[in-house]
Structure 1
């Protein structure tokens, strides 16, 4: 029951934020590369591209991120139980490792970077999205645990 009431909602919120940041970073990286070669990209075009990328990446990159984070957080959950005071740092690291592993694995398997926004400095922006996801997950789990203990559920 704890999984459905505390863990799953926390995971879904952190995944949605993580995916949204990863998609945003991807879109802005691509727009920046266009601007670097002289293409004029207006604000409305940036917003439209960002929204279209979010919707377009959701079924594929969103699923990849969900699987990578779920695996990383699952393993980290057991490690965090042993190292009780290190939970936030461990989940931040797990988010970073999840993204690095997924992006490197995809590139190794397919021999191409399918997420254009994960090239160059964009790779590190994607890792930052993973770090934020890990941080949010750890904070939500901790807050839900304290709320449950306080209310006696």
Structure 2
């Protein structure tokens, strides 16, 4: 199998899935917490229902935007990694790659969320309107970058 296709199938898509799943779940939880703060009575089944509906509902738009953002971030992180390797004249360590790709994932989510208003004329998604919500969304990006690093290292060895 072509190396690029294998990389996309076994590294990028799972990393994107983790990033999207976490971002969607964090989004839903932030909204549900805010509803609870204004004394809306929610049962656990309501929480599960909303989370599942948001996963399906956000996939075509937010999922696509996340995929595009992570794709660009990981391309840039690969270029930075190659530059660092060329400068140091040795391969980067797993921890360095984890730091670079984790930061790239988190930063891509931050830039994506901040760019939604001027580019798409969409206000920041409800789950990211607070500092905690924005940090949670960025954490989903860090997780995606970490998964990408782990999987790309794992499949590079084969």
TM-score under structure 2 normalisation? 0.89
Query: Paired residue for 1:99?
Result: 109
**Relative contact order: is structure 1 or structure 2 higher (C-alpha 8 Å, sep ≥ 6)?**
2
Q: Which runs of 5+ in 1 are unaligned?
A: 149-153
CA–CA distance in 2 between the matches of 1:99 and 1:7?
A: 19
Dislocated runs of 4+, deviation >4 Å: none
Kindly provide the CA deviation profile for residues 6-45 of structure 1, in whole angstroms up to 9, marking residues without a partner as x. Answer: 3432100000111000000000000000000000111000
When the two chains are superposed, the root-mean-square deviation of aligned CA atoms in Å is 1.1
For 1:65 and 1:99, how far apart are their aligned partners in 2? 7
In 1, the alpha carbon distance for the partners of 2:141 and 2:15 equals 9
1:88 and 2:98 correspond: yes
Q: Within 2, Cα distance between the matches of 1:142 and 1:111? A: 37
Kindly tell me the number of residue pairs found equivalent between the two proteins.
Answer: 146
**Partners of 2:14 and 2:118 in 1: how far apart?**
30
Distance 1:48 1:40 in 2: 14
Equivalent residue for 2:17? 16
Compute the displacement of 1:111 (Å).
5.9
1:124 correspondence with 2:135:
yes
- Which stretch shows the higher mean deviation, 74-83 or 17-26? 74-83
Taking the aligned partners of 1:112 and 1:22, their CA distance within structure 2 comes to 16
Task: Specify every segment of 5 or more residues in structure 2 that has no aligned partner in the other structure, as ranges.
Answer: 85-91
Distance in 2 (alpha carbons) for counterparts of 1:101 and 1:125? 14
Match of 2:152 among 129, 134, 141: 141
Instruction: Give me the TM-score of the superposition, normalised by structure 1.
Output: 0.91
Instruction: Output one character per residue of 1:72-129: Cα deviation in whole Å (capped at 9) or x when no partner.
Output: 001111111233232110000000111011000002332622x110110111100000
- Once the two structures are overlaid, the 10-residue window that deviates more, 71-80 or 2-11, is 2-11
